[in-house]
Structure 1
Amino acid sequence: MHSFVRISLLTGCALILPTALSAQEAPPEGAPNPDRNTSRTSVGTGDDDTSDAIVVTARRRAESSQDVPIAVSVVGGDHIDATGAFNVGRLQQLTPTLQFYSSNPRNTAVNIRGIGSPFGLTNDGIEQGVGIYVDDVYYSRVASSTFDFLDVAQIEVLRGPQGTLYGKNTTAGAINITTRAPTDSFEGRAEISIGNLDFKQAKASISGPLSDQLAARLAISATSRRGTIFNVATGNYVNEQDNIGLRGQLRWQPSDTFEATLAGDYARQNPECCAQIFVKTGLTQRSLNRQYEALAAAQNYAVPSTDPFDRLTDLDADLNARNAMGGLALKARLETGLGTLSSVTAWRFWDWLPANDRDYLGLPITTLSQNPSKQNQYTQEFRLNHEGEAIDFVLGAFAFHQAVRTTGTQQQGPAASAWLINPTNPLSQDPSVLDGLTASNDIRLTNTSAALFGQVSWKVTDALTLQPGVRLNYDKKRGSYDSVVVNGDGQLVTFASTDPRIVAQRAVLAPQQFATRFSDWNFSYDFTVSYRAAPGLLAYATYAKSFKSGGVNLNGLPADANGAPLLAAATVKPEKVDHFEIGLKAQFLDGKAIANFAAFRTEIADYQALVNNGQLGVLRGYLANADKVRTQGIEADFSIRPSRRFNAYVNGAYTDATYRRFTDAPCPPELSGGTTVAPGQAPSAPGTPGGLSPASCDISGQRLPGVSKWAFSYGAEGNVPASFFGLDGEAYLGVDGNYRSAFSSNPSPSAYTTVKGYALTNLRAGFRVSGGLDVYGWVRNAFDVKYFEQLAVPSGNTGLIVGQPGDPRTWGATIKTEF
């Protein structure tokens, strides 16, 4: 909070100062300001939607998005601010093909078209299929997507494989974030927002020359907000926001042919977070006395409310989602006779210090659950960009090294025996059996990869372009997992002991140790044909043969009867991707309207899927390969700006993402927990207490988790000339909305974890002076829609379903200025 106060004071001074400066130094009305970002956007409406061209760098050079044969959505920085899309999680409300799910920063998934990362708990030994890049630097930890955007100029969401253009391979797509660069003339921005739920946000940036050859930029932000869930056990609101960010850049340009930029950033989150709360219960195939209702009644326990939208919990373990991220990057650009030679050298770190309540209840079952993690990554990329009359090309080399160490602890409490041990066992009545049982985990990973990549655009005629691309990739991963379990009496829990107490303890937390490695070479390629059928009309077709690197399982492995880990499950095979896409990009009404369409089909063999083994203990989940999945669909983006007084957009996607063949998948909770069927037996009906459960389930043909069949985003803004306190400007009214249909919230679709579809609407109204003051009020989730971000099945399969209610209606006001 002290950090927020300091930033607010600085921002407040910046808000006051520029009014006089801008009045004295502003360019004549109607004259362009060369230091302002004025590129039009395909997603978004507002003051940044001002020029005729949507400029992107998707192909590593500045060009109109309508000339790029890639499905891409472009979101401007001002629209990001206006809609409160302060991180990737909020960005999904503006781009319907993007999916974001997070139970905490570490356990986060970012997908495009339904693919990218396995849905569920994060495993350090695998990689994401959606690359996140900030100013050309690859961010390997998806936790970066939960941090506030800082001084962002533009975000491009690229759909489909991008491995022949980007350093790290990206099979599902890429999120390309460009921050505002140092400027050759003095400029600044400042912004303060306040709202309900004690929301406070302050942002400020300043940029300008230090000498003829040197320019600098500094940006800072802070966000705080009261939590949306009230914990009756502690009297605190949880799931709050407490973020701070800092970014500085120094650009040296001694000549027109060379420049180098040194950038550093630091961001920290320190909220009391993240609670998933009681939603409902559903019958499983466990015996009835081992299901939630019976277990809770045996301990005279009741949750504070069975209505999740009362937003109450009684979690009795510490909650924390403290993490910090930052790094340094040196970018250099040299203009040569052959083209532009670029170098990007970067180091990044991530420190994660969490605390969770993994029983999700106000009972001391699991009293400590945390997996602190530290990561360092180093990347080096070289690129040569050539633009010619007939041939354009990009050639690149990329090297990546990552080291991750996680030191986890899980401890059981006095209520664990009655909850976790079969009630028919007398030990279930002895709290001391599991009280104090502790697993200490040491998990390590080193991840090294290198790649050569390139793409050529051959302009056969003025209308026809052929674009082949290739990539050669090498990956090597080494991992180890070491879990030591000690009971409350200080005794080691081992598989050698036959003591009934030890046997009961290791059924909950089992010791395990193994080391594993993976390495592989891979060659991939793509080919695109584009044809300009008429001015303003581009058609294209793409085929890509791509891959996602294999990995190692570092969350524990299934074990045999003697506790030996099944090392065959220690590695996960690479995904093999075949991608087909056709698209049409059109401009009409003298460039005032844009309509883009894409149809795609992506088939993945050996899809990396999360498997849960149903235990409460440290073996929370591991990865396996599903035989085949497919995602296919149609996307449409439309934006129009008939005059500077009105603009609007609507984007939509139909996505059919299914397991095509997954015959040995984990079963949903309603088919789990019973006695495993013997040969010749038939499983019981779903939700039959004490029934027979299949060893695995065939979910071929069922939907992938986390992706809606239908998703839309839409918005409009209109303005009229107005005067306010002697300032001439414009009054404006804007609306943005999004809709998504129902989706599955469990790796194996379950009747208990389907999230119903919902629509959200955001409103804003204000007054602005072009290039100067902007004051507006806003309402987000204006109709106070009750919806879930996701639902989850806690380990143990008691029938408990928990979830994260989405934000309620929030409202507030923002004042910002540019000078």
Structure 2
Amino acid sequence: MKKFVKAALLAGAAWSAMAGMAAAQDAPSQEPEATVDEIIVTARRRDEALKDVPVAVSALSEERLEQTGATDITALQQQTPNATVQVARGSNSTLIAFIRGVGQQDPLWGFEPGVGLYIDDVYVARPQGAVLDVFDVQRIEVLRGPQGTLYGRNTVGGAIKYVTQRLSPEKELMLKGSFGSFNQVDFLAMGGGALTDTLRIGGAFAKYTRDGFGTNVNTGAEHYNKDVEAFRVSAEWSPNDDVLVRFAYDVMNDDSNPRHGHRELAGALPDGAVLGSVFDTNAGVGDTNSVETQGWSMTVQGRVNDNWTLKAIAARRDGRTDTVIDFDNTPRPTLDIPAYYEDEQTTLEFQALWDYDRIQGVMGLFYLDGHAEGAFDTILGNAGIVIGTGGYVDTTSISAFVDVNFDLTDRLHLSLGGRYTLDDKTGDVFRANYLGATRSPLLGGTPRAPLLLRTDYTNSKSFDQFTPKVALSYDISDDVTGYVSFSQGFKSGGFDMRGDAIFTPNTVNGYDPETVDSYEAGLKGRVGPLSFASAIFYNEYQDQQVTTQVPAVGGIASFVDNVGSSTFYGAEFEGSLSLTENLTANFAVGYLNSDFEEFLRYNLALGVYEDISDQVVLQNAPEWTGYLGLTWNSELAGGDLTIIPQVSWRDDYSQFEFPNPILDQEGFALVDLSATWTYDRYVVGVYGKNLTDEQYRVGGYNFPGALFDNSVIGYYGPPRTVTASVTVKF
């Protein structure tokens, strides 16, 4: 059945493309609702038609997100080729993102993502609270491939840009209520307008609640529930046509219960049994979890003359997470992990944009000052101890960048860019064994001296890198553009916040940056009723940072190694096709092939590094991803009815670099169906998600063995849900 669904999905997408080419001759007047020359993106820090950007970009508009029932940015995974955008294991609002097999799934302080997240032009450095709910959004852009020139460090896989709505000069108010499966009750209010001829204000409030998909059978608490509040206020002041000042402030509170996962292997005692529902747990560490994030930003933009525009962006963000994860999923403290994370960041960016007859570009300076800290306990009941780990990392980053586009002829364009980045990091790591399987003094446990000091150091390192980009594009026709490009990205080095100096003495020296060199060719544009974007790419991944934790004698050993190198290549094809006046097909297909050339792993027993590249794979890198959706529009009872059936496919993929048949996910398809009816000021929607009730893992932990009572646990994506919503606009 799965092979049939996969074949049908990929064949459907390919058929859409071929049908569009054929129909181009017969129906030249038909055009998709949104073509690549009509979609405006800011992938190169300036407004451009998607067709003209020599970057692989997927852009989902507010309308598309609403029509398909997208509730948060994890919906990007279904409609974007070669992308993994999921809720992190053990969390409700922490983000993990991989693009073309490059990313980072470890949310511990000090570890940085490989896919950059931006709210407007503000970089969000930490993944906690980054599963952004979709409201007050104009569009979301997904930039695939290294973005080291314009977006800098930690965009080795790509970047996700959440672009919020500009404020309207008219007074507006929108109220939306949603009700659905598992007692889902959501409320959203948005409004704003002009106070004077030059000043506009706006605000939005959202409340999301839902019962759990499962239950903690030990405590009776909800498991996989949702309890989130979010608030955003903004103001825009424009004294004349040349000056715009924009201010925004947002707050998010997530009090959803922690996700303890589902035990995949039975333990030694009856309370370690594998539960029937994958959403149930038998955890005993507690059900209290809290995530708070907030931030403000101010953008000042002024047009100096017809050719030059200056922009300054200042922002600050901070967050706090208090959580617990029960790795053993039993009432006993076999492997319990209480923790807290705290972070703050200040960023400044200055841009100068210019646009002459045949030369356009942007140059700028960027500064980041960040602090991230935390502590967690590894409570080992079978050993009668707790391993307390805590510390911080301070980061100062400065960079200068430039990106220039030259119109060599009316059809031939050359883009050159480069960025120099300097990072200064200070890491402090403390790790010690304490007697007693209860919380350590680091997390408010009984004060007591360490039984064994494992790590205690403070170290500082600097990392610098120049990341170039060059692209050559040619307008084959007024509607079709082809391009070739080379780009480089890098992710900064750092220190392993779990590092155990007894098991791995070199941990005190930290780890080095990683780089990705990407070679890409693309073709995008419009042919008759077909609007499309395609790309082929070849990447060389050097000094790759891999984070793993493995069972060891008397504890758990952590590694953050520059394991070596890998190469991967692939292709992507996405777009939309107008089949009839009322029917449009949207499709996306991604292919990814990856291999490790070198993977160095420290052998705890021998005390040496070994190349085990023949035993590992790239994690979160399915070979095939696909999407096919049909959008049908019609009039009904004086209003506009839109119905969208859609199916997405993800091929087999591994949760970690080391394949594990218990945790790794086989290929699966998700089938959704949505219907929205718009009448004047009213919008009524019904959204069915995962209608076949597919069970699929999105994460896991692997701690087998007697000491951990076979603590192998999995985390699962949402089951079948149905939601109805009513929106009223005033």
Q: Compute the TM-score of the two structures, normalised by the length of structure 1.
A: 0.79
SS of corresponding position for 1:125:
coil
SS of corresponding position for 1:313:
coil
Cα contact 1:87–1:145 (8 A) shared by 2: no
2:407 aligned with 1:459, yes or no?
Answer: yes
Counterpart Cα distance in 1 of 2:641 and 2:692: 23
Most deviating of 539-548 and 453-462: 539-548
For 1:298-327, what per-residue CA distance to the aligned partner results, in whole angstroms no more than 9, with x for missing partners?
A: xx4244545454x43211111333101111
Match of 2:373 in 1: 405
Alpha-carbon shift at residue 277 of structure 1 (Å)? 0.8
Cα contact 1:93–1:713 (8 A) shared by 2: yes
SS of corresponding position for 2:289:
strand
AA of the residue aligned to 1:750: N
**In proportion to residue count, which structure has more strand?**
2
AA of the residue aligned to 2:699: Q
Counterpart Cα distance in 2 of 1:175 and 1:491: 38
Alpha-carbon shift at residue 646 of structure 1 (Å)? 2.4
Match of 2:28 in 1: none
Cα contact 1:715–1:736 (8 A) shared by 2: yes
2:473 is aligned, of 530, 539, 548, to 530
- Describe the shift of the 1:344–1:762 C-alpha distance in structure 2 as closer, same or farther (beyond 3 A): same
2:78 is aligned, of 93, 96, 99, to 93
Counterpart Cα distance in 1 of 2:589 and 2:535: 11
Match of 1:747 in 2: 657
Match of 1:574 in 2: 513
Match of 1:203 in 2: 188
Cα contact 2:37–2:49 (8 A) shared by 1: no
Cα contact 1:616–1:795 (8 A) shared by 2: no
Counterpart Cα distance in 2 of 1:208 and 1:183: 6
2:320 aligned with 1:351, yes or no?
Answer: yes
Alpha-carbon shift at residue 618 of structure 1 (Å)? 7.2
Alpha-carbon shift at residue 604 of structure 1 (Å)? 1.2
Counterpart Cα distance in 2 of 1:759 and 1:616: 41
Most deviating of 748-757 and 332-341: 748-757
SS of corresponding position for 1:78:
helix
AA of the residue aligned to 2:543: D
Alpha-carbon shift at residue 406 of structure 1 (Å)? 1.0
Most deviating of 121-130 and 703-712: 121-130
Match of 1:514 in 2: 457
- Structure 2: which 5+ runs fail to align? 1-31, 442-447
Instruction: Please give the residue correspondences for 1:341-740 in structure 2 after superposition, counting only pairs within 5 Å.
Output: 341-366=310-335, 369-412=337-380, 416-417=381-382, 420=383, 434=384, 437-488=385-436, 511-559=454-502, 566-568=505-507, 570-589=509-528, 592-615=529-552, 619=556, 621-641=558-578, 645-664=582-601, 698-700=612-614, 702-723=616-637, 728-740=638-650
Match of 1:161 in 2: 146
Computed over aligned residues only, the root mean square deviation of the Cα atoms, in angstroms, reads 2.8
For 1:96-124, what per-residue CA distance to the aligned partner results, in whole angstroms no more than 9, with x for missing partners?
A: 3211341134864211101022x4x3342
Match of 1:54 in 2: 39
2:222 aligned with 1:237, yes or no?
Answer: yes
- Describe the shift of the 1:612–1:182 C-alpha distance in structure 2 as closer, same or farther (beyond 3 A): same
AA of the residue aligned to 1:333: Q
Alpha-carbon shift at residue 586 of structure 1 (Å)? 2.4
For 1:642-663, what per-residue CA distance to the aligned partner results, in whole angstroms no more than 9, with x for missing partners?
A: 5662222010100112322114
- Describe the shift of the 1:699–1:154 C-alpha distance in structure 2 as closer, same or farther (beyond 3 A): same
SS of corresponding position for 2:130:
helix
Alpha-carbon shift at residue 439 of structure 1 (Å)? 4.0
Counterpart Cα distance in 2 of 1:586 and 1:66: 6
Cα contact 1:652–1:712 (8 A) shared by 2: yes
Counterpart Cα distance in 1 of 2:601 and 2:498: 20
- Describe the shift of the 1:536–1:761 C-alpha distance in structure 2 as closer, same or farther (beyond 3 A): same
Counterpart Cα distance in 1 of 2:702 and 2:154: 32
Higher-Rg member (1/2): 1
SS of corresponding position for 2:284:
coil
AA of the residue aligned to 1:543: F
Cα contact 2:616–2:657 (8 A) shared by 1: no
Cα contact 2:342–2:374 (8 A) shared by 1: yes
Counterpart Cα distance in 1 of 2:152 and 2:309: 17
SS of corresponding position for 1:747:
coil
- Describe the shift of the 1:115–1:72 C-alpha distance in structure 2 as closer, same or farther (beyond 3 A): same
Counterpart Cα distance in 2 of 1:220 and 1:617: 49
Counterpart Cα distance in 2 of 1:68 and 1:491: 53
Match of 1:757 in 2: 667
Cα contact 1:536–1:588 (8 A) shared by 2: yes
Match of 2:712 in 1: 801
Counterpart Cα distance in 2 of 1:629 and 1:603: 6
Cα contact 1:553–1:570 (8 A) shared by 2: no
For 1:8-64, what per-residue CA distance to the aligned partner results, in whole angstroms no more than 9, with x for missing partners?
A: xxxxxxxxxxxxxxxxxxxxxxxxxxxxxxxxxxxxxxx995997111111122221
- Structure 1: which 5+ runs fail to align? 1-46, 282-291, 421-433, 494-501, 667-674, 679-693
- Describe the shift of the 1:490–1:762 C-alpha distance in structure 2 as closer, same or farther (beyond 3 A): closer
Match of 2:10 in 1: none
Match of 1:275 in 2: 260
Alpha-carbon shift at residue 718 of structure 1 (Å)? 0.7
Alpha-carbon shift at residue 189 of structure 1 (Å)? 2.3
Counterpart Cα distance in 2 of 1:600 and 1:371: 40
Match of 2:27 in 1: none
AA of the residue aligned to 2:467: S
Cα contact 2:682–2:727 (8 A) shared by 1: yes
AA of the residue aligned to 2:723: G
Alpha-carbon shift at residue 232 of structure 1 (Å)? 1.3
Counterpart Cα distance in 2 of 1:757 and 1:695: 34
2:304 is aligned, of 310, 332, 336, to 336
SS of corresponding position for 1:743:
coil
Match of 1:112 in 2: 99
Alpha-carbon shift at residue 749 of structure 1 (Å)? 1.9
- Describe the shift of the 1:513–1:617 C-alpha distance in structure 2 as closer, same or farther (beyond 3 A): farther
Match of 1:183 in 2: 168
Most deviating of 174-183 and 540-549: 540-549
Cα contact 1:167–1:381 (8 A) shared by 2: no
Counterpart Cα distance in 2 of 1:122 and 1:699: 25
- Describe the shift of the 1:545–1:51 C-alpha distance in structure 2 as closer, same or farther (beyond 3 A): closer
Q: Compute the TM-score of the two structures, normalised by the length of structure 2.
A: 0.89
For 1:235-281, what per-residue CA distance to the aligned partner results, in whole angstroms no more than 9, with x for missing partners?
A: 22212111111001011101111110111000110011212111236
Alpha-carbon shift at residue 778 of structure 1 (Å)? 1.8
Alpha-carbon shift at residue 627 of structure 1 (Å)? 1.1
- Residue identity over aligned pairs, in percent, reads 25
- Describe the shift of the 1:786–1:632 C-alpha distance in structure 2 as closer, same or farther (beyond 3 A): same
- Describe the shift of the 1:184–1:554 C-alpha distance in structure 2 as closer, same or farther (beyond 3 A): same
- Describe the shift of the 1:816–1:490 C-alpha distance in structure 2 as closer, same or farther (beyond 3 A): closer
AA of the residue aligned to 1:606: D
SS of corresponding position for 1:356:
strand
Counterpart Cα distance in 2 of 1:632 and 1:245: 39
Counterpart Cα distance in 1 of 2:71 and 2:416: 36
Counterpart Cα distance in 2 of 1:490 and 1:328: 39
Alpha-carbon shift at residue 167 of structure 1 (Å)? 5.3
Cα contact 2:376–2:390 (8 A) shared by 1: yes
For 1:591-629, what per-residue CA distance to the aligned partner results, in whole angstroms no more than 9, with x for missing partners?
A: x42122100111111000113231497755231011101
Counterpart Cα distance in 2 of 1:618 and 1:218: 49
AA of the residue aligned to 1:718: W
